[in-house]
Chain A
Amino acid sequence: MINFEEELKKFHPSLEVEDAEEAIYNQDLTDMADLLVKMIQESGEKTDA
């Protein structure tokens, strides 16, 4: 049996047009490639050290 209150929690307000700019700016665009590059960089620095 579906519980209305519990299901309602899964819904959230939708972004309005005015909020789009802020949402774009706040979006975290870090991806796996970035993580990999960072890891390689860190490992390279350690090797150099």
Chain B
Amino acid sequence: MFCYHCGAQLSEQHDFCTACGADVHLYKKIMYVSNRFYNEGLERAGVRDLSGAVVSLRQSLKFNKSNVDARNLLGLVYFETGEVVAAMSEWVISKNMRPERNIADDYIGMLQSNATRLDSINQTIKKYNQAYAYCVQESRDLAVIQLKKVLSLNPKFVRAHLLLALLYMDSEQWEKAQRELKKCLDIDRNNTQALRYLKEVELMLQPDESIRQPAKHRKDESVRYQSDNEIIIQPMNVKEPKGSGASTLLNVGIGLIIGLAACYFLVVPARVADTRNEMKKTILEIGNQSDAKTSTIQQLELQVEKLQEENDSLNGTLEGYVGEDGTLVTIDNLLDAASIYLETQNLQDTAVRLETIASSVNVEETSEAFQKLYNLLLTTIGPELAVTYYNDGVTSYRNGDYAAAVELFTKAVYYDSANVEPLYYLGQAYRQNDDRENAIAAYQKVVELFPDTQNAASAKRHIEDLEQTAD
């Protein structure tokens, strides 16, 4: 501490200058106060209460402008809060007050040595001023953009943080404002403005923060408000349509119609096609089954017809056997023939019965017993009967009654087929009766059955004659 009057160093024990005798007790008190404020500023700067440190240091300098330490510290605090030009001013003044052994020299050198850094600082300041101008012109979006650029260049610029936070608060982006204010308070712990803003922001971010009313009306064309983490910008001139309930119902109805139409045009055809394919398959299967059954039916119908014919034939055969009273007539005839022969041994009557039997049924299709009895009767009376018929036939032949001769010779052959004469004369009778075909047939039988006989040779000649005659 030096005397204000003569510049001599003052002693601590006396309230006057020992060199010039000037009263210095008030002066000393002023110095003490300045130093006390400096100490306070230093203490506050130590705990990052930079705003408080600025106040204290400025107070210190108000009491003693020559307090170089206070001035240097003030410059440092300004620099920490991003106020570079203010810091430079204090350091320059400090250097003027004490040119030698002054730390301000180093600070100034640090800034001036790096031109790029200085230019960057200058650009930061210019952008901040531009942002401030945008705020005044109410171009707040542009101001926000500029301030973000400023803070990217100088993250410790407290005033930029505060201004940006204020802009966010104005647009009710409370969480962003809170972030900026917290950054600001990280730099300057007791910044009064930041604390006040933060209090306001925290008040707005309390529990019912999810429900927000639209912001107050502004001159801007849009309203901005925050809902949870989303920022909603709503144009001012757009109004909600009235009767929203009816329009909602209408929209729901339209949506339903569109949904149904989509179903109808997209889903239903596919389902219909599937169903049709299934139906086609089913129809095809049914068709195949129907064809198979039709074929079966046809086969069964043919079988039925065949069986019907067989039935009719058997019925016919049965009718031949069955008489009016229902008994088998043929068996009666056979029994009758046997009875007559046994009782009377009348060959003619027996023959008549046997001929009736032969004309009504096929003896070979009768029972074994029937055939046995029939054949027995036939072989018993046959030869004798054949002779009779042969003789009668010859008589008729000689008389020129060839038709009768044919009949008689036929019976003679029937009753005695082992004899060549009736057969040969049968052929002769047919020939004489101009029945060429039957005559040839009879002659051929003669040739077949009796080949080495004279009758056979004659028969051959007759056959040749008849065939030549036919040609």
Contact = CB atoms under 8 A, between A and B. Distances in A.
Interface of A: 1-2, 4, 7-8, 10-20, 23-24, 27, 29-34, 36-37, 40
B402 interface: no
Interface residues of B, number: 45
Contact of B63 (A17, A18, A33): A33
B430 interface: no
Given A14-B125, A27-B93, A20 B85 contact: yes
A31 B65 CA distance: 6
B357 interface: no
A13 B132 contact: yes
B121 A17 contact: yes
Contact of A33 (B27, B89, B118, B196): B27
B26 A36 contact: yes
Nearest to A12: B132
B65 A2 contact: no
Nearest to B62: A31
B88 to A, nearest CB: 5
Nearest to B130: A13
Main secondary structure of the interface of B (DSSP, over half): helix
B74 interface: no
A2 to B, nearest CB: 5
Given A17-B84, A20-B92, 4 more contacts: A11-B162, A16-B125, A29-B65, A37-B4
Contacts of B64: 31-33
A34 B126 CA distance: 36
Interface string B60-73: 01111110000000
B129 A14 contact: yes
A29 B86 contact: no
Contacts of B33: 32
B202 to A, nearest CB: 12
Contact of B122 (A10, A16, A37): A16
8 contacts: A7-B166, A11-B162, A16-B125, A17-B88, A24-B93, A30-B65, A31-B65, A37-B4
Nearest to A35: B30
A14 B211 CA distance: 39
Interface in B88-136: 88-89, 92-93, 118, 121-122, 125-126, 128-129, 132-133, 135-136
The 7 A-B pairs with the shortest beta carbon distances in the complex, nearest first, are A31-B65, A15-B85, A4-B170, A13-B129, A32-B63, A17-B122, A29-B65
B23 interface: yes
A21 to B, nearest CB: 9
B85 A19 contact: yes
A31 B85 contact: no
A20 B196 CA distance: 31
B125 A32 contact: no
Nearest to A23: B89
A17 B89 CA distance: 10
A33 B65 contact: yes
B166 A2 contact: yes
A23 B170 CA distance: 33
Contact of B65 (A7, A13, A34): A34
B220 to A, nearest CB: 13
B197 interface: yes
Given A13-B129, A14-B83, A23-B89, A33 B169 contact: no
Contacts of B27: 33, 36-37
Contact of B132 (A11, A23, A24, A33): A11
A22 B193 CA distance: 28
Contacts of A36: 4, 26-27, 30
Contacts of A30: 65
B6 to A, nearest CB: 12
Nearest to B135: A8
Nearest to A26: B89
Interface in B134-160: 135-136, 159
A10 B66 CA distance: 30
Nearest to B199: A2
B65 A17 contact: no
A8 B31 CA distance: 37
Nearest to B71: A29
